[in-house]
Structure 1
Amino acid sequence: MEIRWHIVFIIIGAAIVTFIPRILPLVALSRIQLPSWALQWLKHVPIAIMAALIGQELFAPQGEASFFINKAELVAALLTFTAAMITRSLLGTVLIGILSMFALRLFI
């Protein structure tokens, strides 16, 4: 098997391009002390990103707003959200989400 060097360089370049945006903020922010309001604000960023991803998948799966087309996904999301609020367990939430989606797709 021959090595295609242009593919190797593309892979290395993609790794560098992926690595730089992840490491630069880490290095820059590790050397400064952020104010408490910034730390409070940053705590909400992962939740906001997850909500945006889930909301887009539930309410605009093909890029258009369609509120009640994905009934099974909406019910599974509500069950999963309820499980997350009650159990506060990542494993329990994932299991409830997978099982509820499995059951809803099997029976609906």
Structure 2
Amino acid sequence: MDKNFVISVLGMFLVTYVPRFLPVFGLSRVEMPSFIKSFLEYIPVSVLSALLFPTIFLKGNHLFISYKNIFLIASIPTLLVAYKSRKLFSPVIVGIISYILISLVIN
């Protein structure tokens, strides 16, 4: 195995793991106020929304709300299943199946 490859993999490991580990390690011993805890609970939802909304609603930097928008139509049953089940795996499967079925019908 090449020495540069091993050094690169170890470097990538450090760059990705250390920034995730240090806050967990450091903050696990500190009791945070309740308002900070409640604020931090919204971060995953807001990040996911920021990643998904442009994909669902935009096409070529323009708002694309149409029955031909496969992502928008597939997101409807996905959101319903996510709301109803409150699980992670079910909405992913429904989203994939919805996208495939809708793309077969529309195209």
Classify the TM-score, shorter chain.
0.7 to 0.9
Coordinate RMSD, CA, aligned: 1.8
Match of 1:86 in 2: 84
1:35 to 1:19, Cα distance in 2 relative to 1, 3 A? same
Q: Measure how far apart 1:72 and its partner are.
A: 0.7
In 1: Cα distance, 2:65 partner to 2:3 partner: 50
Give 2:65's aligned amino acid: F
Deviates more, 1:8-17 or 1:51-60: 51-60
Identity %: 30
In 1: Cα distance, 2:87 partner to 2:29 partner: 33
Q: Which runs of 5+ in 2 are unaligned?
A: none
Please point out which of 99, 102, 105 is paired with 1:101. 99
Give 1:65's aligned amino acid: H
Q: Which runs of 5+ in 1 are unaligned?
A: none
TM-score, normalization: structure 2? 0.85
In 1: Cα distance, 2:17 partner to 2:87 partner: 31
Q: How does 1:2-13 map to 2 (within 5 A)?
A: 3-13=1-11
Match of 2:45 in 1: 47
TM-score, normalization: structure 1? 0.84
In 2: Cα distance, 1:11 partner to 1:61 partner: 36
